Amino acid sequence: MKRIFLYLLMALSIVVMYGCSQDTMPKEESKKESKENSASNVPVKIPDDLFVSNKKNETISEDEMKASIKKYMDYSHVIDEEMQTIVYKDEDATESDWEKLKKLMDEGKKNDANFNDFLSNNTIPDDYKEPSKTIYEFVSSIRETLTQFEEEIVGAVENGSLTEISDFASEHFSKANGRQQLKIEKFLDEKNIKTTYFDE
């Protein structure tokens, strides 16, 4: 449940970060700072371990299924950690940081899509079908919520108001909530799948 709270906190921080980055800098100054940031900042750290599988119409063994779940969730965790590093800068975040955050979100979406394709295009062990779907829905719903939140904020800022953000989160957090998290953690324990995803 701490994980869910963390994502809600990140979502709210994105509002503040994006709003501040747009409101506090004149456009010319913003462009100048953006160039300075791109020259002086280290490029965003994108981990190498994106989940990828070219398998189609194959029967997946239990060992491969365990390894696939671990890789998918571990990569998601690393991406989230990088996102947190940026988000926790809060009002100190720059336009360059915002661009990095968007890149990390895109990378997370690729990871989600690749794992979903792997589940959809192959025959996986029966006792992994429902839990794997739950894991995918949990992780991807959080990512989709954060991405949609970003789009809502961009639109709201462009319209000059942060007060008209729709209540879209409830749909996604119905798939990613404390109850689902406990169900996933129980499954991972039963199958002895060690992942960093729920680490604090």
Any idea how long the chain is? Answer: 200
Asked if 146 contacts 3 with a C-beta cutoff of 8 angstroms, the reply is no
In the predicted model, what is the mean pLDDT of residues 110-119? Answer: 97
Domains of the chain, residue spans: 2-190
pLDDT at 36: 42
Per-residue pLDDT tens digits for 144-196: 777 676 666 656 556 655 544 545 555 556 677 788 889 999 999 999 999 99
For residue 16, CA distances in Å to 98, 129, 132, 198 come to: 11, 39, 34, 25
Name the pLDDT band for 97 (thresholds 50, 70, 90): confident
pLDDT at 49: 77
Per-residue pLDDT tens digits for 8-66: 556 655 555 555 555 544 444 444 444 444 433 445 566 677 999 999 999 999 999 99
Angle 175-184-45 (CA atoms, 0-180°, nearest 5)? 80
Percent of the chain with pLDDT over 70: 60
